[in-house]
Structure 1
Amino acid sequence: MPRVVGIKFEHNLKMYFFEARNLDLHYSQKCVVETVLGLEMGEVVKRPFICENIKNNLKPVIRPAQDIDILQLKSNREKEKIAFEIANQKIKEHQLSMKLLRAHYTLDRGRLTFYFGSEERIDFRNLVKDLAAIFRTRIELRQMGVRDEAGMIGGCGMCGRELCCSTFLINFEPISIKMAKEQNLALNSAKISGVCGRLMCCLSFEYSQYKKLIYQLPKKGSKILTSQGLAKILEIDIFKDMIRLELENGKEICINEEEYNRFFL
């Protein structure tokens, strides 16, 4: 049974599993691993353990990172800045409607990947030829979605905190306007959209709880019988545990969920 270790990479929130072999690896240790793209440096976030349920062969950890690997990584980061500027210039020369986000060298510089955002499909074959001639390595251009783009660039949301997609959110769940409606949020696109322009991911964080609570309460517009007579439900506020009612004489009153359970018609 293989020894497996969990590794995370820079600019990537996901954890990937690699075969630890007989290496002595500890938490937060830097190590060099073999990936499908080439050699990369990652950080141990889950210590080696024996795993019985591995279906596919895992890529191995090559070695704990050495001083020469650290120096190579620093050198790569400097070269990535230069590559970014050159690629940006070439994009302008080819008049392509794409926004360059980041350049990334594998540790062994066997591949140079450019991440970009665009609202349309881009034919970048001529651009790749130019970049390959300049950098003399394998070139890959990868188009990112608007949510991935926001996570890669980072920033602050309207809540004042750093973006969820750049700190802890690994997978993007489907978000619908129905989630905002059932949470009684104002359907103002400026207030329920994130910096990416899509509906905010946090609309889904408490949605299941809202759905459960709303299921136990009446719908707006339904009627209940109170001690003061028949009343129509005008508003339901889950946070305040308040249901606002309108009596037949036009008077408005408020009751809580416990009172509603006694009066529901």
Structure 2
Amino acid sequence: MIDVVGVVFDDEGHIYYFSPAGHNLDKEMNVVVETERGIQFAKVVIANTKLKKENINMPLKKVIRIATKEDFKNYEKNREDNRKAFLDCKKLIEKHNLKMNLIDANFTLDRKQLLFHFTADARIDFRTLAKELASIYKTRIELRQIGIRDKAKVVGGIGPCGRVLCCNNFLYDFDSVSINMAKNQNIALNPNKINGACNRLLCCLTYENDNYLEARKTLPDVGQRVETKEGFGRVVSVDILAQTYQVDVPDVGILDIKVENGSC
């Protein structure tokens, strides 16, 4: 078990775990933390607790300190400047006719870095853009191209299930998702049903895929010829969760068959 605290970088959204580094932290406390993007301001939403190592994304970064009034003042100023930097960058993108879609702009708390996320269909030569931004803000500029799924994670939204997007709420990494996972679960291959807000296959198709594969082992395939009490017929449909299937037997009709004792 490892000592952790859970924090968010916005009022809501993805919870990230950090090492408390000896600090006793309660919910709603503001803290300054070390991240891959530099020093950031965050709010504690899960007080000091212990979690299993396999349940968290390792290695853990540390809580540097409990935020001061000065930290909060800098955070508020950065939020205003983030919006200005975003608009300035968009104007420069249009000026240089760059085919890129800007997602956000964020200063680190200490203003040592200004990070922009963007999407684009191809690689972008943004060296001139970076130089102009650096001359305006007098800090290190990083322009990071991200994928369409990463964009959904940054922007957030509501999924077809009516809940906050998984990637914006709790997912740390994107697992590989294939169309076979939808087929394994007998989901209609309708893009409106199996694609998420990012217009890519739903991440949640991976959640129960292994269970469906295991349950499917006891069922015949659609089209397979099987023997029933009424004679031979062909399987016309299967219900994986109910562990039943239907067989069309000539001169008899459709029979509903329940899998018993793990075998057809």
Normalised by the length of structure 1, the TM-score is: 0.85
- Distance between the aligned counterparts of 2:101 and 2:140, measured in 1? 21
Q: What residue number does 2:211 align with?
A: 209
Q: What residue number does 2:220 align with?
A: 218
Per the TM alignment, residue 129 of structure 1 is displaced from its structure 2 partner at its CA by: 0.3
Does residue 1:10 correspond to 2:9, yes or no? Answer: yes
Q: Are the structure 2 counterparts of residues 232 and 77 from structure 1 closer, same or farther at C-alpha, using a change threshold of 3 Å?
A: same
- Distance between the aligned counterparts of 2:225 and 2:242, measured in 1? 20
Q: Are the structure 2 counterparts of residues 62 and 240 from structure 1 closer, same or farther at C-alpha, using a change threshold of 3 Å?
A: closer
Judge which range, 145-154 or 37-46, deviates more: 37-46
Identity %: 39
- Distance between the aligned counterparts of 1:216 and 1:183, measured in 2? 14
Deviation by residue 1:109-148 (Cα, 9 ceiling, x = unmatched): 1111111111211110000000001111111111111111
User: In the alignment, is the contact (CA less than 8 A) between 2:93 and 2:100 conserved in 1?
Assistant: yes
Of residues 160, 165, 170, the one that matches 2:167 is 165
Per the TM alignment, residue 190 of structure 1 is displaced from its structure 2 partner at its CA by: 3.2
Of residues 238, 255, 258, the one that matches 2:260 is 258
Does residue 1:116 correspond to 2:118, yes or no? Answer: yes
- Distance between the aligned counterparts of 2:149 and 2:59, measured in 1? 31
Per the TM alignment, residue 149 of structure 1 is displaced from its structure 2 partner at its CA by: 0.2
Classify the secondary structure of the residue corresponding to 2:204: helix
Deviation by residue 1:206-259 (Cα, 9 ceiling, x = unmatched): 111111110111122223322211121111012444311111326222122239
Where do 5+ consecutive residues of structure 2 fail to align?
53-57
Classify the secondary structure of the residue corresponding to 1:120: coil
Deviation by residue 1:88-115 (Cα, 9 ceiling, x = unmatched): 1011111111111111011111111111
RMSD of equivalent CA atoms = 2.8
Q: What residue number does 1:25 align with?
A: 25
Q: What residue number does 2:55 align with?
A: none
User: In the alignment, is the contact (CA less than 8 A) between 2:20 and 2:48 conserved in 1?
Assistant: no
Per the TM alignment, residue 84 of structure 1 is displaced from its structure 2 partner at its CA by: 0.6
Larger radius of gyration: 1
User: In the alignment, is the contact (CA less than 8 A) between 1:7 and 1:42 conserved in 2?
Assistant: no
- Distance between the aligned counterparts of 1:48 and 1:215, measured in 2? 41
Q: Are the structure 2 counterparts of residues 60 and 258 from structure 1 closer, same or farther at C-alpha, using a change threshold of 3 Å?
A: closer
Q: Are the structure 2 counterparts of residues 101 and 220 from structure 1 closer, same or farther at C-alpha, using a change threshold of 3 Å?
A: same
The one-letter code of the counterpart of 2:219 is: L
Of residues 151, 154, 171, the one that matches 2:153 is 151
User: In the alignment, is the contact (CA less than 8 A) between 1:4 and 1:18 conserved in 2?
Assistant: yes
Q: What residue number does 2:42 align with?
A: 42
Q: What residue number does 1:190 align with?
A: 192
Per the TM alignment, residue 169 of structure 1 is displaced from its structure 2 partner at its CA by: 2.0
- Distance between the aligned counterparts of 1:166 and 1:40, measured in 2? 18
Normalised by the length of structure 2, the TM-score is: 0.85
The one-letter code of the counterpart of 1:8 is: V
User: In the alignment, is the contact (CA less than 8 A) between 2:112 and 2:140 conserved in 1?
Assistant: yes
